[in-house]
Structure 1
Amino acid sequence: MRWRGRRQSENVQDARGQGGGFGGGGLGRGGGIRLPMGRGVGGGGISGIIILVILFFALRACGIDPLEMLTEGGGPAGGGGQITQTNTQASDEMTQFVSTVLAETEDVWNGIFQAEGLDYTEPTLVLFSGQVRSACGFASAASGPFYCPGDSKVYIDLAFYDQLERQFDAAGDFAQAYVLAHEVGHHIQNLTGILPKFNQMRQSMSQAEANQMSTRVELQADCFAGIWGHFTDQKGLLEEGDLEEALNAATQIGDDTLQRRTQGYVVPESFNHGTSEQRATWFNRGFQSGRLADCDTFNNPI
């Protein structure tokens, strides 16, 4: 995707380092891709502090300044300074990327809404690390990216993109763009009244009925993401293989594929986002037509 040098959205809020609490993200708050994120190995406590203090003075006694090691980077075993710099550069580039993709969604949806005589209220993208508080409650990175209709914000821990590539075999910048465009698709549903109606209806639904309706909501968001891809392609921003990246990502995060990968078997009645085939089909449908009318997942077979 040719994104460098293009406008970046001003509707980006960086909340990294400000997390607190744990909760679910997900569909109950407006939908989202919810993939299990691995938890890091933690440690600490008083014993850990004592060991660090002893190590500090032991190094000082040997004529080694631990503070200098931390700030300048170490020898062959660590290379800490270079690694930190590289990670920072990668993080900055990814921030620029999602800010640019968000700006592109703004341009597309502003144009579509204006053509219908409507005003488009742009969502805010919140970047968080580990965990975050939203108007929908606490959420952790384990929830994956999600949209909260209560504050009209899209939330994402950028580490998700690493997992998308390494664990779910969905590499490529347009695969990453698809994820964000899908969440913006939920924002479109919120503005048009689809999400509020669903959240009201689900209160009187059985779990099976709610899952079936949830699948239709999610597939429509995929289709809306495809519409964004359609107009992005018309602007000449897509490169060879970009569409295939998005279709592969949609396939890799289908309910059946995820369940087969994580638990070895599938439970169709628990599907609430759509199968791999459904997700790829509805994204491609929006991509090929670019028309909202072709994204009616509620009155058409899915």
Structure 2
Amino acid sequence: MPYGPPGRPPGPPRKRGGGGLTALLLVIVFVVVGSLVRYAISTGKHSADSTGSTPSFTFTPDPSGAVARAETGTNPLLTDSSTTLIPARCNYSSWGTQVDAARKFFESAAGCLESAWKPVLAKSNLPFQPPELNVSATTSGITTPCTGTTSNFAAFYCPANKTIYMPISQLQTELFKDNWVIYLSVFAHEYGHHVQAMSGILRKANSDRVDAGARSEKGLELSRRVELQANCFDGMYMDSSSDGGSLTSSQISLAKRDAHGRGDQRGDMRDHGTADNGGAWFEIGVDKNRAAQCNTFTAAPSDVS
């Protein structure tokens, strides 16, 4: 489940001429733009790939002095074996497919996810700010920094504007009906990408992917490590909500079955991981509820295939 597409659109044509000063300025611009691309690139496919610009991603200064660490496997969020989400009850708003009802549902979930993840990041001296939330009936007419004007996207996180997009038409409500635990799990996965962004994991993974080539074998493996970790963070939250009394065991079982039914299909770009691995990492999150157990960046390649 993607967090945003790669690339930036070409800039406006530059005039010729200008001598040595112009050449120097062009070199500076090239370096700066290259740095922004390295920082902002992210993969795109929740149910389909998308293209568009991805501006640079910056953090709002934190008064406590906490800073994101551009690290993956050694990120502070993943190195403390005791880091867990504390069980807490969440009064989810009633689910409905109308925009107002769905927005209230996801807003209630966002408040609970913030209460769960904010202290974890603070414990690791990492910054936090809540993501923005965009809930819409369809994708029609929506323009995002990560997708441009395309309407070919589903639920996803855009790090460029720190926003989670939840278009109702793309949630397969005709299949899952009123089993709102599935929509909650999708949302918790996208929120997991926001946690990755806040910690600096996403920045480092994207930078490494640029170096490797976004669609190279190594680049796609990095994308899978990002996505499978978000599955694990999703499972962590679902466990904490269940232990807090907000989700039943049957709902957790349903979410597990759903996690095993997603993932890369035949002909896909292989950037999310197999259904088996996607389900396995979700279950690690549910069963262990430890961020260190979600360290996909130190996992064997076979576990992130």
Does 2:201 align with 1:194? yes
Q: Which residue of 2 aligns with 1:280?
A: 279
**4+ runs of 1 displaced by more than 6 Å?**
none
Q: Which amino acid aligns with 1:274?
A: G
Q: 1:151 to 1:91 in 2, by over 3 A?
A: closer
C-alpha distance in structure 2 between counterparts of 1:30 and 1:156, whole Å: 18
Find 1:144's aligned residue among 126, 151, 154: 154
What is the TM-score of this pair, normalised by structure 1?
0.64
Q: Which amino acid aligns with 2:99?
A: S
Q: Which residue of 2 aligns with 1:174?
A: 181
Q: 1:298 to 1:170 in 2, by over 3 A?
A: farther
SS at match of 2:152: helix
Asked whether the equivalents of residues 135 and 150 of structure 1 are also in contact (C-alpha less than 8 Å), the reply is: yes
Percent identity reads: 27
SS at match of 1:144: coil
Q: Give 1:140 shift.
A: 4.1
Find 2:113's aligned residue among 85, 105, 108: 105
Asked whether the equivalents of residues 286 and 294 of structure 1 are also in contact (C-alpha less than 8 Å), the reply is: yes
Q: Which residue of 2 aligns with 1:34?
A: 46
What is the root-mean-square deviation in Å for CA atoms of aligned residues? 2.6
Find 1:154's aligned residue among 157, 160, 164: 164
Provide Cα deviations, 1:11-37, integer angstroms capped at 9, x if missing partner: xxxxxxxxxxxxx97453545652159
Does 2:121 align with 1:121? no
C-alpha distance in structure 1 between counterparts of 2:208 and 2:181, whole Å: 34
C-alpha distance in structure 1 between counterparts of 2:247 and 2:158, whole Å: 29
Q: Which residue of 2 aligns with 1:68?
A: none
SS at match of 1:133: coil
Q: Give 1:198 shift.
A: 1.9
Q: 1:231 to 1:27 in 2, by over 3 A?
A: farther
Higher helix share: 1
Larger Rg over CA atoms: 1
Aligned residues: 216
| Residues 259-298 of structure 1: pairs in structure 2 closer than 5 A | 259=265, 266-267=266-267, 270-298=269-297
Q: Which runs of 5+ in 2 are unaligned?
A: 7-40, 50-95
What is the TM-score of this pair, normalised by structure 2?
0.64
Q: Give 1:153 shift.
A: 0.9
Find 1:132's aligned residue among 123, 142, 148: 142
Q: Which amino acid aligns with 2:259?
A: A
C-alpha distance in structure 1 between counterparts of 2:239 and 2:159, whole Å: 25
Asked whether the equivalents of residues 99 and 135 of structure 2 are also in contact (C-alpha less than 8 Å), the reply is: no
